Amino acid sequence: MRVPLEIAFKQVEASASLERLVRERVDRLPRYFQRIIACRVAVEAASRNNQHEVTGYRVRVEVSVPGNDLVATATPRQGASARAVVHDPYQAVRDAFVAMERRLKSYAGRLRTERKPRANAPHAVITHLDTEEGFGFLRTIGGREIYFHKNAVLNGGFARLELGDEVRFSEVDGEEGPQASTVEVIGRHGRHIMGIVPRA
């Protein structure tokens, strides 16, 4: 299936050959991760000479995957500043897509690791959620309360959490005591399974 694609040329004249290169590189992305929802590519002028001709380009590639957005840009040359630009638009496109391919491979590998069964991971129930501040608390079977941040919820699932959800988690020592480093929902009825009532 072809990945839905949006291409934007910002302060740069649209080019059929450059657009063709972008489409070719987008078509390669599912090799690295198959569940791509959409791709957005922006080609923009990053510098101009005294005659107002474009002399440098930046390319930004944004890929939407389930629960996340991955972003990559044209890679500055070694020793260049963080705002360095690429002077050839075709090279800028290739650099940005090479960076995105690395991001997708890394993301796919991380998902595979997260999906490995963790038979010994402790279970808990979500007893408190602060959606504005992006954190919550779990209560273990033994009655301990453990803090977790929204970034600890696997697959960007914090917004889908509900009080009473049963979860698996990994525990680490935080600055203010124990906290969950990974939180994975495993059931919607933890309050019945574990006999824990969420606090208000």
The closest alpha carbon to 103, from 21, 10, 170, 36, belongs to: 36
- Measured CA to CA, the distance from residue 182 to residue 154 in angstroms comes to 6
pLDDT reported for residue 170: 86
Which residues in the chain come in under a pLDDT of 70? 1, 50-52, 54-55, 75-86, 113-121, 174-176, 188-200
Full set of structural domains in the chain with CATH: 5-115 (3.30.160.100), 123-193 (2.40.50.140)
pLDDT of residue 6: 95
pLDDT of residue 75: 54
C-alpha to C-alpha distance for 78 and 158, rounded to whole angstroms = 38
Nearest to 5 by CA among 110, 97, 103, 99: 97
Burial label for 177, CB within 10 Å (0-12, 13-18, 19+), is exposed
DSSP 162-181: -TT-EEEEEEEEETTEEEEE
